[in-house]
DNA sequence: TTTGCACCTGCATTTTTTTGCAATAAGCAT
DNA sequence: ATGCTTATTGCAAAAAAATGCAGGTGCAAA
């Protein structure tokens, strides 16, 4: 896989080493459908490398996040999810009632980002935010007067 | 303080009770300058109520957050901060290099919120997000070719 | 290929956060 | 005021996450 090669280069070019453990963490995240949490990564990596320690997972995830190869999303219910940063960057909207998450293309942020850059000089990362709110169905339930 | 009265009503109207512990957590957050973390809340409450348990702080913070009296912000460096939700709602931009945080008025989100509501029916909360990015000074350093 | 240095790992330990449970107390109704 | 129901608390214990350290290992340079 050539994309794997890019990844390895990215890691090496930054004074970091590509260890088997790190590679496994990386591919667990990449090959999971979309979002994956620490325990799922651990379980996945264990299949190929049973003795790996959970702290190694934590530390590798921190490194990969730092390198911006993966994104970290704090769900509003507390869970932390990781995701491969591919080309279709997006953000997350999470419903505060049903906890459902929808993905929204980054293009919606374009003008917001521009305003912030113009007025504050702050350059927003197209990082993955879990923005909380009320999804359509829950909003409708609320309007019907059906409390919670 | 009449505002305190409103708060107490909010709590009572939702099947929750206003205990001395809860009130102290509430005012610790309210009277802190802006952001405050769990340990700071704990330390603050202890002054008036020395035997309070840290788990009580965690649980009260969760309740107050649920009631939307306080906001919870995950900084990109991992720290979790709490803040009283007053009238001047705002969001946070945190620099991924220097970790400095700036506050930005919610009005900047208005058109973004409208777009999301129109296209997805999702109603974004004016919650406090810590959006990561590069602040002006760090961006300039980067452009000078001064790595990290 | 070999060497050397700095990064990484696993393990043990500490710190932080969550949870179960019995006792307590808030606050509504009488 | 008093009693009753049930949320809340403190404590202990569990679970989750972070950290220190000594030995192992990637990998660039010789």
Per-residue pLDDT averaged across A64-93, rounded?
87
Look at strands B90-95 and B101-105 and give their pairing: antiparallel
Band (pLDDT 50/70/90 cuts) for residue A142 is confident
The alpha carbon of residue B146 and the mean position of all alpha carbons in its chain are separated, in whole angstroms, by 34
Do A117 and A124 meet the contact criterion of CB atoms below 8 Å apart? yes
Within an 8 Å CB–CB cutoff, is residue B32 touching chain A? no
Band (pLDDT 50/70/90 cuts) for residue A2 is very low
Per-residue pLDDT averaged across A65-86, rounded?
88
Topology classification of domain A1-86:
Arc Repressor Mutant, subunit A (1.10.10)
pLDDT for residue B2 is more than 50: no
Per-residue pLDDT averaged across B66-88, rounded?
88
pLDDT for residue A1 is more than 50: no
pLDDT tens readout for residues A104-135: 998 999 999 999 999 999 999 866 667 889 99
As a whole number of angstroms, the distance between CA A117 and CA B141 comes to: 16
pLDDT tens readout for residues A90-99: 888 989 888 8
Q: Using DSSP, state whether B34 is helix, strand or coil.
A: coil
Band (pLDDT 50/70/90 cuts) for residue B144 is low
Within an 8 Å CB–CB cutoff, is residue A43 touching chain B? no
Per-residue pLDDT averaged across A26-47, rounded?
93
Within an 8 Å CB–CB cutoff, is residue A112 touching chain B? yes
As a whole number of angstroms, the distance between CA B139 and CA B141 comes to: 5
- For chain A, the structural domain boundaries read 1-86, 87-148
Per-residue pLDDT averaged across A45-68, rounded?
95
More confident residue, B146 or A57: A57
Report chain C positions within 7 A of protein CB atoms: 6-12, 16-20, 25-28
Which residue, B94, B111, B145, is CA-closest to A123? B94
A73: DSSP letter? E
As a whole number of angstroms, the distance between CA B80 and CA A96 comes to: 18
Band (pLDDT 50/70/90 cuts) for residue A29 is very high
The alpha carbon of residue A42 and the mean position of all alpha carbons in its chain are separated, in whole angstroms, by 16
pLDDT tens readout for residues B94-143: 998 888 899 999 899 999 999 999 999 999 986 666 788 999 999 988 77
Q: From the list B104, B115, B125, which residue is nearest A120 (CB)?
A: B104
pLDDT of residue B26: 96
The alpha carbon of residue A45 and the mean position of all alpha carbons in its chain are separated, in whole angstroms, by 18
pLDDT of residue A90: 87
Cα–Cα separations (whole angstroms), residue B90 to B15, B33, B102, B131, B139: 29, 15, 10, 12, 23
Chain B residues whose beta carbon lies within 8 Å of the beta carbon of residue A121: 135-136, 139
- How far away is chain A from the Cα of B135, in angstroms, using its nearest Cα? 5
Within an 8 Å CB–CB cutoff, is residue A108 touching chain B? yes
Band (pLDDT 50/70/90 cuts) for residue B3 is low
CA of B57 to C1' of C26 (A): 18
Place of tokens 């521009």: A114
Q: What are phi and psi of A118, to 5 degrees?
A: -65, -45
CB atoms within 10 A of CB A139: 16
Residue B5 class from Cβ within 10 Å (0-12 exposed, 13-18 middle, 19+ buried)?
Answer: exposed
Q: Which residue of B has its CA nearest to A135?
A: B122
Give the lowest-confidence range in A88-92, A109-113, B12-16, B25-29: A88-92
Within an 8 Å CB–CB cutoff, is residue A12 touching chain B? no
CATH architecture, domain defined by A87-148: 2-Layer Sandwich (3.30)
Do B135 and A121 meet the contact criterion of CB atoms below 8 Å apart? yes
Per-residue pLDDT averaged across A51-59, rounded?
96
Tokens representing residue A61 in the block: 């995830």
Residue B39 class from Cβ within 10 Å (0-12 exposed, 13-18 middle, 19+ buried)?
Answer: exposed
- Quote the mean pLDDT of chain A: 88
R_g of chain B computed on alpha carbons? 18
The verdict on a CB contact (< 8 Å) between B133 and A120 is no
More confident residue, A140 or A78: A140
- How far away is chain A from the Cα of B113, in angstroms, using its nearest Cα? 9
Tokens representing residue A16 in the block: 């970091």
């Amino acid at each position: 896989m050539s994309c794997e090669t890019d990844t390895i280069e990215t890691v090496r070019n930054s004074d970091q080493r590509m260890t088997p453990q790190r590679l496994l963490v990386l591919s667990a995240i990449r090959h999971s459908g979309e979002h994956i949490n620490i325990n799922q990564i651990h379980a996945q990596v264990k299949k190929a490398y049973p003795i790996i320690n959970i702290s190694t997972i934590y530390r590798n995830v921190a490194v990969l996040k730092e390198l911006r190869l993966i994104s970290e999303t704090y769900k509003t219910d507390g869970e932390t999810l990781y995701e491969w940063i591919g080309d279709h960057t997006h953000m997350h909207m999470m419903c505060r009632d049903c906890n459902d998450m929808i993905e929204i293309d980054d293009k919606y942020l374009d003008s917001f980002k521009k305003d912030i850059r113009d007025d504050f000089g702050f350059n927003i990362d197209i990082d993955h935010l879990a923005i909380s709110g009320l999804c359509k169905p829950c909003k409708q339930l609320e309007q019907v007067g059906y409390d919670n």
